[in-house]
Amino acid sequence: MSDQPSHQGPGPSRKFVPDVNPLESRFLLSGTDPRGGTTGGDDLPRFLPRTGGVFVQTGSELGIGVGQPTRNTVQVTDDHAGNVQAQWNGGPNHLLTGVTTTFIEAERARHDQITFNLTAPRTGPAAVAVGSHVPTGAVPASEERHPRIIRGRTSGTAVQSGSVLTVMVNRPKSNVVQIANAGGGNVQVEWNGGKSHSFAGIATIVVNVSNATKDYIILTDSSS
């Protein structure tokens, strides 16, 4: 799938194969520019649709591209067993299997929200939860007396309130958020080339991005 003019040559392979870096026995994707070739996403079209969105699965890598001009929303449910359910911009739910990395590219809009629901491993795809609802047992921010707040120097903040982790990034040109999901509520989050932060007891991750018109959010299922 490509929007390149027909007079250009075939170019390099567009297979989406991310590299990983070991961090405290978990893994995060390497590279700061996903379109630069080290993090992947090249199977998505260069020009994303202005309504709805598009997805491509290549092996265990799922790429989702959204490009609405005002706001984009993406909801992903990941059971850490390869079963992923994804929905974006009010469209239908898509059920996919064999997925270990979900790569989301959002462009044009200056305000995007990406929600990941992390569920325990299931016996089959039919058991995967639907939509962006907070799983049972998650604690709303209003009920958490002492939320954990991390303010980075790379245009971002992470707030854990109960089992909900909210990541906010607002770099002006492009934002990159990388999440390693080790299962059991254990995640590592890194944004805009900053340090990696570890969190436990996470059921839902909400990523709010603003200012930039090109954002990349990557969730990778990793081992503990």
pLDDT in tens, 112-129: 999 999 986 433 332 232
Q: Domains in the chain: how many in total?
A: 1
Task: Give residue 32's pLDDT band: very low, low, confident or very high (50, 70, 90).
Answer: very low
Assigned domain for 127 exists: yes
Q: Residue 199 and residue 176: Cα distance in Å, rounded?
A: 18
Task: Give residue 167's pLDDT band: very low, low, confident or very high (50, 70, 90).
Answer: very high
**CA neighbours closer than 13 Å in the CB half-sphere of residue 36:** 8
pLDDT value of position 90: 94
Residue 10 CB: number of other CB atoms within 10 A? 8
Residue range of the domain that includes 126 = 20-221
- The yes-or-no verdict on residue 198 having pLDDT over 50 is yes
Which segments of the chain are extended strands (E)?
A: 20-23, 26-29, 54-58, 61-66, 72-78, 84-88, 94-96, 101-107, 111-118, 148-151, 156-161, 164-169, 175-183, 186-191, 197-199, 204-210, 214-221
Assigned domain for 161 exists: yes
* pLDDT more than 70, % of the chain: 69
Assigned domain for 116 exists: yes
Assigned domain for 11 exists: no
Q: Residue 224 and residue 187: Cα distance in Å, rounded?
A: 9
Assigned domain for 191 exists: yes
Which residues lie closer than 8 Å to 210 by C-beta, 6 or more apart?
A: 110, 111, 112, 168, 169, 170
